[in-house]
Amino acid sequence: MDSIIVRGNGPLKGQIPIAGAKNACLTLMPATLLSEEPLTLTNAPRLSDIRTMSTLLQSLGAEVSGLQGGQVLAMSSHDLTSHVADYEIVRKMRASILVLGPMLARDGHAVVSLPGGCAIGARPVDLHLRALEAMGAELDLRDGYVHAKAPGGLKGAVFEFPIVSVGATENALMAATLARGTTVLKNAAREPEIADLARCLRRMGAQIEGEGTPEITVQGVERLHGATHPVVTDRIELGTYMLAPAICGGEVELLGGRMDLVGAFAEKLQAAGIGVEETKAGLRVTRGDGRVRSVDVTTEPFPGFPTDLQAQMMALMCTADGVSILEEKIFENRFMHAPELMRMGARIDVQGGTATVTGVERLRGAPVMATDLRASVSLILAGLAAEGETVVSRVYHLDRGYERVEEKLGAVGALIERVTGQ
C-alpha cells in the first residue's frame, strides 16, 4: 500500500495547473446514458473514481475510452446491454447512484445497488428516490438494491427537496430531461457542478432554466443527442492548493482558478491574512512572514464554505495565531482527521459537530493515517508546515480525488514523494 512522505521545507513558489472537477465529471459521465449518441468530455481529471465510473458504465454496455492520456473521455451508450448496477462496483463510490435517473428516464427500468464511498456520515439516498417517485417512478428496495421502473415513462412534477442535496438534484435533473411535461425542482442545490451539468445537458438538447438558483425548471424532450463538453475547473482541488502556500509561505499561481468557484473560501483566507488575487491565468495566493490569523468556519451548501475544504482549512488553523471554531453542518462524521493532526502536535477539541482549534507555533512530523479523501490531503498540507518528516499512509483515498499530488506540489518546491508498498 502506498504512502506519501512529506518534509517541511519552507516557502513554495511557482505555478500549479488545476484539473477538471472530479465531482462534476462523475455527474457528467452518467449523462451519456440519456442518449444513444456519443458524449465527449474534455478536461476530464485522471483519477481512480473516474476509472470506477467508467467501469460501471461499461458494465451497463456503454463504450468508454480515455483519449490524450485520459483528459478526453469519449462515451457512447447506443446499445445498453444491462440495467443492473452491481454492488461490487457501486460500493466503491457514492456517485454510482447517479446512473439511476438516466436509465430510468431513457428505458423505464433500472436496478441499482445502494452505494458506498467515504465513511463521513450517513448520506442517505432517500432524497434521490423521493424525487424520482414524484416523477412517477415505482421503487422497491430489496436485498440492498433499488428496483425502479416507470412503465409509461417518467412524468414532469413539482418537487421540493426538504434539505439541499447535490446528488439528488443531479439525479432528478437528468431524469427530468426525458420526462413528459415540465419538472420544477425547488430548494435545489446551487453548486457549480450542477450548473456545469445543466450546460452539458443543454448541449445535448435539454431545455433547462434556473441552474445556480434554488429553483430549476426542466421541460422534458423526447430525446437527447450527442455533444462535446468541457468539465469545469475543480474548485476543491483549487482550494486545496491555495492552502499550500497559505500553510508554509510563498507565492503560488493556480492556473485555471476562478474566484467565483471559491468565493466564500477565499474570503476566509483573506481574513486570515493570506493574499488572494485574480490573474490572467488564474488565481495567485501569497503569504508573507509571521503566523496567520485564526478565523471561524461554518460549512454550508454552495455558495457557502464547502465541507470538502473543511479538513484542509483545519490544517491551516492548527498553526494560526489564536483560537478558531470549525462547525461542520453538512456531514455528521467529518472530523476523523483531527486525531491524526493531534499526533503532529495540533491542539484540537472536538465536541459533536464543532471543533475548537488552538493554534501552535509549529507542528511536528509524525506517521499518520488517512481516513478519507479530504482528510488525506489535509495531512499532507500539515506535513508541509511541520518540522521533520510526516508519513501519510492509506493514501488510496487520495487517488480518488487528486491527480498527481506529489508532482504538483513538488513542482513548486515541496519535498514530497510517494513510496510504494509501505
- Cα separation, 390 vs 416, whole angstroms: 10
Could you tell me the three cell numbers for 261? 468557484
Residue ranges covered by each domain of the chain: 3-19+233-419, 22-230
Mean pLDDT of 401-408: 91
pLDDT at residue 210 above 50?
yes
- Exposure string (b/e) for 392-406, b if CB count within 10 Å is 16 or more? bbbbebbbbbbbebb
Nearest residue to 26 via CA among 194, 220, 153: 194
Pairing of β 39-42 and β 297-298: unpaired
Q: Is 308 annotated as a binding residue?
A: yes
What are the pLDDT digits (tens) for 252-265? Answer: 999 999 999 999 99
Q: What is the residue-averaged pLDDT of the chain?
A: 93
What are the pLDDT digits (tens) for 369-378? Answer: 988 888 899 9
pLDDT at residue 125 above 90?
no
Mean pLDDT of 272-294: 96
> Residue 70: what pLDDT?
58
- Cα Rg for the chain, rounded, in angstroms? 21
pLDDT at residue 117 above 50?
no
Instruction: Please say if 118 is a catalytic residue.
Output: yes
> Residue 73: what pLDDT?
95
- Angle at the Cα of 379 (from 378 to 382), degrees rounded to 5? 90
> Residue 121: what pLDDT?
42
At 122, is the pLDDT very low, low, confident or very high (cuts 50, 70, 90)? Answer: very low
> Residue 169: what pLDDT?
98
Mapped onto helix, strand or coil, the DSSP state of residue 404 is coil
- Cα separation, 229 vs 359, whole angstroms: 44
- Cα separation, 242 vs 245, whole angstroms: 7
Range of lowest pLDDT (28-32, 57-61, 143-147, 312-316): 143-147
> Residue 399: what pLDDT?
82
pLDDT at residue 123 above 50?
no
What are the pLDDT digits (tens) for 288-336? Answer: 888 999 999 999 999 999 999 999 999 999 999 999 999 999 876 679 8
Mean pLDDT of 269-285: 98
- Cα separation, 56 vs 61, whole angstroms: 9
Active-site choice (25, 118, 200, 248): 118
Q: Is 126 annotated as a binding residue?
A: yes
Burial of 155 (0-12, 13-18, 19+ CB in 10 A): middle
- Cα separation, 138 vs 156, whole angstroms: 15
Q: Is it true that domain 22-230 has CATH number 3.65.10.10?
A: yes
> Residue 116: what pLDDT?
55
Could you tell me the three cell numbers for 71? 483528459
Q: Is 187 annotated as a binding residue?
A: no
What are the pLDDT digits (tens) for 334-368? Answer: 798 999 999 999 999 999 999 999 999 999 999 99
Q: Is 22 annotated as a binding residue?
A: yes
Secondary-structure class of domain 3-19+233-419 per CATH: alpha beta
- Cα separation, 44 vs 51, whole angstroms: 11
Q: Is 155 annotated as a binding residue?
A: no
Share of the chain above pLDDT 70, in %: 96
Q: Where are the alpha helices (DSSP H) in 108-213?
A: 126-134, 166-176, 192-203
As a 3-state breakdown, the chain gives helix, strand, coil percent values, each rounded to 5, of 35, 30, 40
